[in-house]
Structure formats: C-alpha cells, structure tokens
C-alpha cells in the first residue's frame, strides 16, 4: 500500500490522519472548518479545504494520495460533488479534480457515510463480509452499502439515505430536518434522543448525558434509548427486506450506548422481518470507533476498493 493522507470532513470540523504503507494511523490532526455557511462559494470551499491539507503536507513527506469523506453526494467514484445538504448553493463541483490541482496529489472524495462503510468493511467489524450495510449513528443517521466488495453509490450518488426511511406515517410523526416527517433520523439520532428526553423529563441535556443517566438506571433515559434502538431496528429491517444482506455494522457516537441499543435493535428486527429472513442478520458494533470514516478514506485513496 501507499502512504496516504485520509480525512473525515464534517460541517464544522475536520479530522485527518496519515495512514502508513502498513495501514497504521500515524497521527491525527483536528481542525475547525466552517462549511456551514450556506453562501459559501465553490472557490471558498476549495480554498478552505486546500489550506487545511497544505498545513499537514508541509510537514509530511512521501504522501502519495489523499482520501476524504465529505457530507455530500458524489457521482460514482469521480469525486464530482453533485450536492451537499450543508451547502445548498453548490452543485456539480469538480471537487476532487480542483483539490488535486491545488495540492498536486491524487485526491479521492466520497460520501462520508459510504467512507465509514468502506472503512468498516476493509478494516473493521465488516471485514470478510462480501456485502455490508453500514449505519452511521450520530447527530444524524447515514448509511453506506458495500455490494460484492464494492461501494454502492446509486445512479445519482444518493444511495443509502437510510436516515430518511420512514418509521412513522401518522399525523403525530416527528418532523425531520430534510423537510419530511417520520424519518428514522427524527427518532433515533443523538439529536432525537436529546429532544425526546427533554419532552419526557423537561431537562435539556445532550445524548451523552442522557446515556449517563440511563447508566444510573434512570427509567426515562433508558426508555428514550430503547425507543431509539427500536426505531433504528425498524429502518434496518426495511432495508434488509429489500437488500437481504447478512451483516450490518453501526458506527458513530451513539454506539457508546450499545448495551441498551443492541437488544432493542435485535428485538425490533425480529418483529419486523418477514419469517424467512428472521435470524439471518448479524448486527455488529463498529470495531473502529470514531475512525471508520478515516480508514475508509484511506482505503479509497490506497485504491483497495
């Protein structure tokens, strides 16, 4: 393998690591980056990203390529950013090509959740599976799909919007940031957990603090996490009814609450799946913690997929 720089880019911060020829993470650089400005121009985006990577590259030698996971839709493996929910003004940006010219290195870009799927499949809990359905469970909910050992992007680069599968259709269905309602993201994300806990307890804390309360056997907090696991299981079940995949992996901050989430997910899958599929799906916690996306970006840059 070649030595690469791999990055996981979010709306407000960016993490990057050098990944060595042996597949080891050598260092980790974190930085704030403001991609939340809806009026950001294409040139601004390229400039901000390039400045960040320049800062690392000047102290590193023998980097042969850069891989990045980015919150947006990419056309296949071309690195063309079709659209990004964070940057509604930008469409069809040749982001990999422009960054490659700026940085004078091959640059590979892919959707952040798909990067996490690739990382989990190449280095993590999904290693050895031919097909993998990966869920990123954090502030929002995303999905990434590996079919026949290859990342699946969809015809417009928009596949696996698992966070927007509906788990409720009635009039009381919760509103989602996508403009719709009833999406699993509005029921099982960290944001949803904090909201639901506030509704039942009147206390405004974040999902991590709700989990701390659950660990102290606070019934409301446990209920909120169990409900999140149930709804996540519903969404995974709908996906399995279509895709019939044996291995599901889950990464992201909320997997810290695995001991409560996992039994709820499994119970929900058992209820929701059609009889012949029951018991055929293995749900695994990420083996890479926060680094699934970084490892996936590295694998893409190393052309392991």
Query: Site for its own copies (CB under 8 A): which residue of 8, 112, 120, 272?
Result: 272
Distance CA 235, CA 15 (A): 29
User: Do 297 and 111 touch, CB atoms closer than 8 A?
Assistant: no
Query: Site for its own copies (CB under 8 A): which residue of 17, 131, 136, 302?
Result: 131
Instruction: Determine, following the binding rule CB under 8 A, whether residue 158 of this chain makes contact with its own copies.
Output: yes
Q: Side-chain half-sphere of 106: how many Cα atoms within 13 Å?
A: 16
Instruction: Determine, following the binding rule CB under 8 A, whether residue 179 of this chain makes contact with its own copies.
Output: yes
Nearer to its own copies (CB atom), residue 219 or residue 280: 280
Instruction: Determine, following the binding rule CB under 8 A, whether residue 43 of this chain makes contact with its own copies.
Output: no
Interface region with its own copies, contact rule CB under 8 A, candidates 20-28, 210-218, 262-270, 274-282? 274-282
**DSSP labels, 158-183:** ----GGGSBS--STTPPB-TTS-BSB
User: Do 184 and 167 touch, CB atoms closer than 8 A?
Assistant: yes
DSSP 8-state secondary structure symbol assigned to residue 71:
S
- Ramachandran area for residue 62 (φ above 0: left; ψ -120 to 50: alpha; else beta): left
Q: How many residues bind its own copies (CB under 8 A)?
A: 44
Query: Site for its own copies (CB under 8 A): which residue of 63, 90, 96, 165?
Result: 165
In angstroms, what is the minimal distance from the CB of 234 to its own copies? 8
Site residues for its own copies, 195-214, by CB under 8 A, read none
Instruction: Determine, following the binding rule CB under 8 A, whether residue 191 of this chain makes contact with its own copies.
Output: no
Instruction: Determine, following the binding rule CB under 8 A, whether residue 128 of this chain makes contact with its own copies.
Output: no
The 3-state DSSP class for residue 271 equals helix
Interface region with its own copies, contact rule CB under 8 A, candidates 18-26, 56-64, 102-110, 235-243? 235-243
Distance CA 188, CA 228 (A): 4
Distance CA 166, CA 184 (A): 6
In angstroms, what is the minimal distance from the CB of 73 to its own copies? 6
Nearer to its own copies (CB atom), residue 120 or residue 298: 120
Distance CA 50, CA 33 (A): 11
Q: Is 199 exposed, middle or buried (0-12, 13-18, 19+ CB in 10 A)?
A: exposed
Helices vs. strands in the chain: H and E counts, helices first: 9, 12
User: Do 154 and 54 touch, CB atoms closer than 8 A?
Assistant: no
User: Do 81 and 89 touch, CB atoms closer than 8 A?
Assistant: no
In angstroms, what is the minimal distance from the CB of 244 to its own copies? 2
Interface region with its own copies, contact rule CB under 8 A, candidates 36-44, 55-63, 250-258, 268-276? 268-276
Site residues for its own copies, 52-91, by CB under 8 A, read 73, 82-83
In angstroms, what is the minimal distance from the CB of 139 to its own copies? 17
Instruction: Determine, following the binding rule CB under 8 A, whether residue 242 of this chain makes contact with its own copies.
Output: yes
Instruction: Determine, following the binding rule CB under 8 A, whether residue 276 of this chain makes contact with its own copies.
Output: yes
Phi/psi of residue 52, nearest 5 degrees: -60, -45
Distance CA 273, CA 241 (A): 7
Query: Site for its own copies (CB under 8 A): which residue of 46, 50, 80, 168?
Result: 168
Instruction: Determine, following the binding rule CB under 8 A, whether residue 253 of this chain makes contact with its own copies.
Output: no
Instruction: Determine, following the binding rule CB under 8 A, whether residue 245 of this chain makes contact with its own copies.
Output: yes
Which residues of the shown chain bind its own copies in the complex (CB under 8 A)? 73, 82-83, 130-131, 143, 145, 147, 152-162, 164-170, 178-180, 234, 238-239, 241-246, 272, 274-277, 280
């Amino acid at each position: 393998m070649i030595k690469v720089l791999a990055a996981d880019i979010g709306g407000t911060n960016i993490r990057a690591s050098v990944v060595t020829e042996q597949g080891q993470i050598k260092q980790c650089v974190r930085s704030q980056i403001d991609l939340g400005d809806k009026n950001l121009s294409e040139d601004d985006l390229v400039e901000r990203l390039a400045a960040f990577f320049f800062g690392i590259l000047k102290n590193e030698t023998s980097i042969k390529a850069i891989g990045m996971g980015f919150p947006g839709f990419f056309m296949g493996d071309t690195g063309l950013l079709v659209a990004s929910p964070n940057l509604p003004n930008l469409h069809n940006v040749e982001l990999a090509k422009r960054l490659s010219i700026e940085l004078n290195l091959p640059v590979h870009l892919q959707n952040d959740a798909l990067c996490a799927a690739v990382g989990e499949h190449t280095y993590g809990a999904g290693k050895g599976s031919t097909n993998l359905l990966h869920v990123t469970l954090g502030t929002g909910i995303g999905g990434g799909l590996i079919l026949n050992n290859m990342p699946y992007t969809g015809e417009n680069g928009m596949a696996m919007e698992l966070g927007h599968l509906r788990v409720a259709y009635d009039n009381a269905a919760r509103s989602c940031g996508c403009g719709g309602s009833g999406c699993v993201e509005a029921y099982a994300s960290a944001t949803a957990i904090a909201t639901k806990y506030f509704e039942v307890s009147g206390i405004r804390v974040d999902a991590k603090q709700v989990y701390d309360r659950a660990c102290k056997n606070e019934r409301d907090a446990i209920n909120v996490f169990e409900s999140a696991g149930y709804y996540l299981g519903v969404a995974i079940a709908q996906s399995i009814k279509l895709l019939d995949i044996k291995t599901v992996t889950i990464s992201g901050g909320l997997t810290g609450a695995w001991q409560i989430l996992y039994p709820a997910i499994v119970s929900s899958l058992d209820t929701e799946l059609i009889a012949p599929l029951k018991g055929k799906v293995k749900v695994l916690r990420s083996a890479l913690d926060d680094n699934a996306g970084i490892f996936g970006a590295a694998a893409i840059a190393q052309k392991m997929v």
